[in-house]
Amino acid sequence: MADIDRLKQDIVFSATLRGQPLVFHSTWGLFSPRGIDAGTRLLLERIEVGAEDTTLDLGCGYGPIGIAVARCSPAGVVHLADKDVVAAAYARKNVKANGLANCQVHLSNAFDAVPDVAFDQVLANLPANVGAEMLTIILRDAKARLKPGGRLCVVTVNGLRKFIRRNFEETFGNYAKLKQGPHHTVALAVREA
């Protein structure tokens, strides 16, 4: 029985993201519960973070992307959104654990319950298993919610890179591959005026 009790306890680990020491609480059943995955690290290495940016971390999980951005952008505002109630609860816990006052966490299926805010950037570690339809909805809604000149930056498994390129070009009229690693690709689209 002690093993079950131990498994039910929070998984707590430290990570340095964008040069910032952070602490994370997680649990079994969430994506990459014991540490920051390679795709998230690749994305965080490639994005630009403005000091006063308004950012959305879409599909935030327990919050590593949004929390790292919030720490680097203390005068900015970061919204974190996930459709999973457990993920959103852990994102809230991690915002508090890292002493961040510039974050808001939303339980939301993509943009459905995200406040009507114009974003400087939308960031996402897009899962491969949500289907082409949901990914298309996310891309179209992201464009609608970005300020002119706003950026959508995503990391996906390499198998989705052609889909992302095609859909970025169709939706935004542009596409840039920021980095392709052994398993993940970071892509950028910019909302033109």
Residue 165: which CATH number? 3.40.50.150
Q: How many domains does the chain have?
A: 1
pLDDT band, residue 2 (cuts 50/70/90)? low
Whole-prediction pTM: 0.95
Q: Is residue 108 part of a domain?
A: yes
Show the domain range for 44. 36-190
**The CA-based dihedral angle spanning residues 34, 35, 37, 38, taken in that order and rounded to the nearest 10 degrees:** -140
pLDDT band, residue 153 (cuts 50/70/90)? very high
pLDDT for residue 122 is more than 60: yes
